[in-house]
Amino acid sequence: MSLNWKEIDQVLSELPLENSHIQKIRQPDFHTLVFDIYSPGKRFRLLISLTQGKTRLHKIDKAPESEIALQRFAQFLRARIKGGRIIYAGQLGSDRIVELKILRGGEITRLWIRLWGGASNIIAVDEEGVILDACYRRPRRGEVSGGTYLPEEELKAVAAALVTSTAEGGDIKPKKEFSLRFFHEEKEYNTLVEEFYSEKEDSEELEILVGRTRRFLQNREEALKSALDKAEERAEKYADPEGLKQTGDLIMTYLHEIKRGEAWVTLENYYRNNELTRIELDPKLSPEENGEKYYKLAGKAKSGKNRNEDELNNIKNQLKMVKDEEVQLLSAPSLSELKEFLSRIPVQKQEKQKEKIPGLQFNSAGFTLLVGRTAKENDALLRKHVRGNDYWLHTRDFPGAYVFVRVMRGKSVPLNVLLDAGNLALFYSKGRSGGRGELYYTQVKYLRRAKDGKTGLVLPSQEKNLSVTLEQERLDRLQKG
């Protein structure tokens, strides 16, 4: 919910902006600025928010909890108006456009603050209305440096058009009525506005943090349950170390009855009243080696059983802790508790995403062919996506694409691949309509950038010639991949 024009008027009426000085400019986020202002006998902070759905301007008593480094426009304002005196502050009619006129060093800057939701902006102009800079540069609206912004003239033109339309019998839409939505007998309107948006933003932040906390705890619980399943599987494996030792004893006792290469043997088990017991053997091992194998398994099972029991208990304790934390943090969520909890979670470094390769890519007999269709794509490919031994092709007599053949280690580039690349170079050039063309090619390491030349312009050396005739079948094959 953004402030309406009546609320903006009320906010401005309470602020001693005229003849005050801008002492500091802060930037809590990419859509918000805060001016530290000194008025004789009083200091306060003026917040300007361009956040969609929360566009507003009002005094704040509480300093921003965090700040980002000043971005381009904020840096411009710091250089242009910091230390300046506000000689006028007011809203333009009922159109949610606020003007701050600032004098510094004999120079006047008019700061237009447009609080229009999706079209909000802060535009700094000189006395003639020439745009010095804007928070959001919008070329389609002409809101760029060097443009002109005269909102008074624009609104006059709209009003004149409305009068003309009415005189010609056009329908008049009734104006929407606005009112002050906050009221408290003992509090300033600015304070009420700050409290409302502070509570709203805290509520929104709380919802986000609850979601993050819940996802973290659920992921942690799933990971622990998976670890528990694996530990329980190992517990079954380590369940009977004594039985494995007894099996080793039986094999050693009856070595003379066991033949090498047997996969199974049935022996009298003196540990169980001589009942017959079937034992699995490794045919590749000797009978004695099979006995030793069971002794080793028994030793691993015995030590593994103890370790695994400790791990099982630890996992179960961690699961209980996760459940307890979930109840404690999410049953009655607190912003401070959630922030403190999430601050203890180590931030995992995200893998750097591979930069998207500009232009077009084709495959020819396993070789990758890259095509830059514009000067910008050509330059980007040259700078970041090809190496010195890769090949570069370009039409000799016509402007057109750069085509690169990425070489494969230990392989020379076949003529057929070179002809594929040549067809692409001719097809994406001004010589395409002729069906034939002369190309030159060389390795990337023999390209030299033209000093003070246009973007992507290179001067080749050690180049070779290649005559190419466009072949539709070849192009179709490359297009199909």
* Domain end call among 309, 343, 377: 343
pLDDT score recorded for residue 286: 94
Determine the pLDDT at residue 353.
47
Rg (CA), the chain: 38
Of 78-87, 151-160, 205-214, 231-240, give the lowest mean pLDDT range. Answer: 151-160
Poorest-pLDDT segment among 19-28, 248-257, 293-302, 449-458? 449-458
271 and 375 share one domain: no
pLDDT at 171: 56
pLDDT, greater one: 319 or 480: 319
Identify whether the C-beta of residue 461 lies closer than 8 Å to the C-beta of residue 444.
no
Burial class (CB in 10 A: 0-12, 13-18, 19+), 396: middle
**Which region holds residue 431: left if phi is over 0, alpha if psi is between -120 and 50, else beta?**
alpha
Q: Within this chain, do residues 368 and 301 fall inside the same structural domain, yes or no?
A: no
User: pLDDT grade, residue 302 (50/70/90)?
Assistant: confident
**Is 206 within the bounds of a domain?**
no
Residue 209 has a pLDDT of 92
**Is 243 among the domain residues?**
yes
Same domain, 137 and 100: yes
In a domain, 134, yes or no: yes
Shared-domain flag, residues 255 and 398: no
Under the banding of pLDDT at 50, 70 and 90, the label for residue 185 is confident
Q: For residue 359, name the pLDDT band (cuts at 50, 70, 90).
A: confident
- Of 141, 167, 193, which closes a domain? 167
Asked whether residue 104 is assigned to any structural domain, the reply reads: yes
Indicate whether 205 belongs to any domain. no
The residue whose two tokens read 């180590």 is: 346
Instruction: Note down the domain range covering 276.
Output: 227-343
Mean pLDDT of 13-39: 93
Question: Is the pLDDT assigned to residue 274 strictly greater than 80?
Answer: yes
The reply to whether 269 falls in a domain is: yes
pLDDT over threshold 60, residue 354: no
195: pLDDT strictly greater than 90: no
Nearest Cα to 246, choosing from 200, 224, 277? 277
Q: What is the mean pLDDT of the chain?
A: 87
Please give the pLDDT value at position 173. Answer: 58
Which long-range contacts does 378-387 make (Cβ < 8 Å, 24+ apart)?
A: 378/402, 378/455, 378/456, 379/455, 379/456, 381/357, 382/444, 382/447, 382/456, 382/458, 384/355, 385/357, 385/358, 386/444, 387/444
318: alpha, beta or left? (left if phi > 0; alpha if psi -120 to 50): alpha
Q: Which residues, in sequence order, are CB contacts of 458 under 8 Å at separation 6+? A: 382, 392, 447, 448, 449, 450
Query: Residue 183, class by beta-carbon neighbours within 10 Å (0-12 exposed, 13-18 middle, 19+ buried)?
Result: exposed
Q: How many domains does the chain have?
A: 3
pLDDT in tens, 433-442: 888 999 999 9
DSSP string of 131-161, one letter each residue: EEEESS-BGGGTBSTT-B--HHHHHHHHHHH
Q: How far is CA 152 from the centre of its chain?
A: 40
What is the distance of C-alpha 311 from the center of its chain?
38
Answer yes or no: do 476 and 423 share one domain: yes
Task: Give the model confidence (pLDDT) of 304-345 as tens digits.
Answer: 777 778 788 888 888 998 899 889 888 888 888 888 888 888
Assess contact for 448 and 458: CB atoms under 8 A.
Answer: yes
* 146 and 120 part of one domain: yes
Mean pLDDT confidence for 394-398 = 89
The DSSP call for residue 92 is -
Q: Is 99 found in the same domain as 162?
A: yes
pTM assigned to the model: 0.54
Rounded Cα distance, 466 and 393, in Å = 9
Residue 300, SS3 per DSSP: helix
Give the DSSP H or E segment for 222: helix 189-237
CA gap 317, 105 in Å, rounded:
68
Q: What is the pLDDT of residue 479?
A: 79
Quick one: 422 and 447 in the same domain?
A: yes
User: Does 154 reside within a domain?
Assistant: yes
Domain boundary among 147, 167, 187: 167
Whether 190 is covered by a domain: the verdict is no
Which secondary structure element, helix H or strand E, spans residue 312, and what is its range?
A: helix 287-330
Residues 339 and 364 grouped into a single domain: no
179 burial class (0-12, 13-18, 19+ CB within 10 angstroms)?
exposed
Q: How deeply is 432 buried, as exposed, middle or buried, from its count of CB atoms within 10 A (0-12, 13-18, 19+)?
A: middle
CATH of the domain at 136: 2.30.310.10
One domain for residues 160 and 13: yes
- Residues 124, 11 share a domain: yes
The residues with which 402 forms a beta bridge, in sequence order, are 372
Residues 96, 45 within the same domain: yes
Is the model's pLDDT at 352 over the cut of 50?
no
Residues whose CB falls within 8 Å of the CB of residue 215, separated by 6 or more in sequence, listed in order: none
**Strand partners of residue 278:** 266
Q: How confident is the model at residue 78 (pLDDT cuts 50, 70, 90)?
A: very high
